[in-house]
Each structure stands twice: as structure tokens, then as C-alpha cells.
Amino acid sequence: MTDALRFRNLTLGYDRHPAVHHLDGTIAVGDLLAVCGPNGAGKSTLLKAISGALKPIGGQIERPAAKPRDIAFLPQAAEIDRSFPINVFDMVSMGFWRQLGLFGSVSAKGRQKVFEAVGAVGLTGLEDRPIGTLSGGQMQRMLFARLLLQDARVILLDEPFTALDSRTTADLIDLVGRWHVEGRTVVAVLHDFETVRAHFPKALLLARETVAWGETRQTLSPENLLKARRMVEAFDREAHECERAA
């Protein structure tokens, strides 16, 4: 099986302060992988690095089956500016930006694809609605519609189901499952272990470094989850003591 992503002694961080340490491993083409771990474990940092938004401090990320244009990244909902004056149709059509550039116009065929993507996530009739008036669930559906238009081979999702109602979550999980069937590689940061166990066959458990990586039920064992929590807590205590000593 071809690798979509490879991590070789990868260390990530901000202002030279590591958030992920010495990560080694591979993600195969077509994998459906959940990235789990306590708060502060480096999960979102890893996704930003895969997308190219964050450069490694050490080591490297290899993308043998995915050029940068083949990677789509959905950040956490809190990072989306809901006050931006744009409607649903125009926001979804931004999924074409790699093909059209920032100022390219959408063709008639492209407009039809936008309507189809909006319909696929259950937002038909809301195309002219300003995004600032959408509910949290409608906002996330819209962002998934934009992902549909990106047609990426690798899809990165950072906490995609947080604070969503059960129906919206189920609909979006179905869409993720469809991407998996199509052979796309999906990597998602998730906190709900039951969702991970039910829908994601593989998991990476992070605590600033790898705790476990493989089949989901083995990776998310009670022993591994306890180890991950203790590792992050220990790191935080040591960082706090260092700060006081300085």
C-alpha cells in the first residue's frame, strides 16, 4: 500500500518550544485515522504541519502521494471568522480557489457544482444566507461543502464534530465514510472516543509524543489513555517549574 504521509523524527513547536516530539510513522493512502490525546498533546499542531502551515523544528514530513494542492484542511470552528461579510454560496465556492486563484470567476458548470455541494450537506435554499446568521451545525455543513469542491486526496479535520447536534454529526460522519470508500486519506482530531471506536479503524494517541498508533481499540485502551494523560500532566508540571525557576 502506498504511503500518503511519512513522519521521520518529526518535532514541531512554536518559538522553538516543542509541542510534538520525535514522531515517526506512516499514514497509508486511503487510511481513516483519528488523532486523539489530552488537551495540549499536540494534535492540532500536527495537522497544521501536515497542511504546510507550520514548518518542523526538526525532522521532516514526506508527502509521497500528496502534493500541497492535494491536501484540504478544515480548522477548528473557533478559527473561522463568522463576521466576514460573505454568503453561503460564495463561501462554498472558495473550494475552487486552487484552480481559479483568489480572483477567478466561477463558470456555469462550477456554479452547478456549488449548488450540488450545498445540497449534499443539506443546506439547499440557504445559498444567499450570510454566514454570520448560520447555526453552528449549518456552519460546519457549509465548510464540509467547501471541502467537497476542493476534491482533495488528503483531508485534515480538526475537531469537526465538536458542539454539533446528533443529526448533523451523523450526516457529516456519513460524508467522511464516503471519502474513505473513495480511497481518500482522512486524518481527524477527535475527542469523542466512542465516535472514534465506531467509525475510525485506526488511531494515533498523542501526548506530545506517540503513546500508541494502530488499530483503534488497542490504541485507545484504558492503560494507554491513562498513560497519555499522565505524560501531558508531567510535561505541564515540568514546564511550570522551569518557568518559575527562570
pLDDT digits (tens, 9 = 90+) for 7-57: 999 999 988 788 999 999 999 999 999 999 999 999 999 999 999 999 999
Question: How much is the pLDDT for 246?
Answer: 28
User: SS3 helix, strand, coil % of the chain, rounded to 5?
Assistant: 45, 25, 30
Question: How much is the pLDDT for 69?
Answer: 77
Asked, for residue 114, whether it belongs to a domain, the answer is no
Task: Decide if 87 contacts 131 (C-beta within 8 A).
Answer: yes
Amino acid at 72: A
Residues β-bridged to residue 73: 156
Rounded to 5 degrees, what angle do the CA atoms 159, 163, 167 make? Answer: 100
Asked, for residue 117, whether it belongs to a domain, the answer is no
Structural domain tally of the chain?
Answer: 1
pLDDT digits (tens, 9 = 90+) for 203-214: 999 999 999 999
pLDDT digits (tens, 9 = 90+) for 142-176: 999 999 999 999 999 999 999 999 999 999 999 99
SS3 115: helix
Question: How much is the pLDDT for 234?
Answer: 85
Asked, for residue 218, whether it belongs to a domain, the answer is yes
Task: Provide φ and ψ at 55, rounded to 5°.
Answer: -85, 145
Question: How much is the pLDDT for 242?
Answer: 35
Asked, for residue 220, whether it belongs to a domain, the answer is yes
Give the number of C-alpha atoms closer than 13 A to the C-alpha of residue 27, restricted to the C-beta side. Answer: 32
CA–CA separation, 182 and 175 (whole Å): 11
State which residues form the domain around 18: 1-66+189-246
- The mean of the pLDDT values for the chain is 90
Asked, for residue 226, whether it belongs to a domain, the answer is yes
Give the pLDDT mean for 54-68.
89
Question: How much is the pLDDT for 65?
Answer: 76
pLDDT digits (tens, 9 = 90+) for 97-143: 776 655 567 889 999 999 999 999 999 999 999 999 999 999 999 99
Asked, for residue 46, whether it belongs to a domain, the answer is yes
Asked, for residue 118, whether it belongs to a domain, the answer is no
Task: Provide φ and ψ at 180, rounded to 5°.
Answer: -65, -45
What CATH number is attached to the domain comprising 6? 3.40.50.300
Residue 68 pLDDT exceeds 90: no
Exposure of 39 by Cβ count < 10 A (0-12 exposed, 13-18 middle, 19+ buried)?
A: exposed
Higher pLDDT, 70 or 100: 70
Predicted confidence band of residue 244 (pLDDT cuts 50, 70, 90): very low
Asked, for residue 174, whether it belongs to a domain, the answer is no
Between the alpha carbon of residue 83 and those of residues 14, 96, 104, 130, 137, the distances in Å are 28, 22, 23, 9, 17
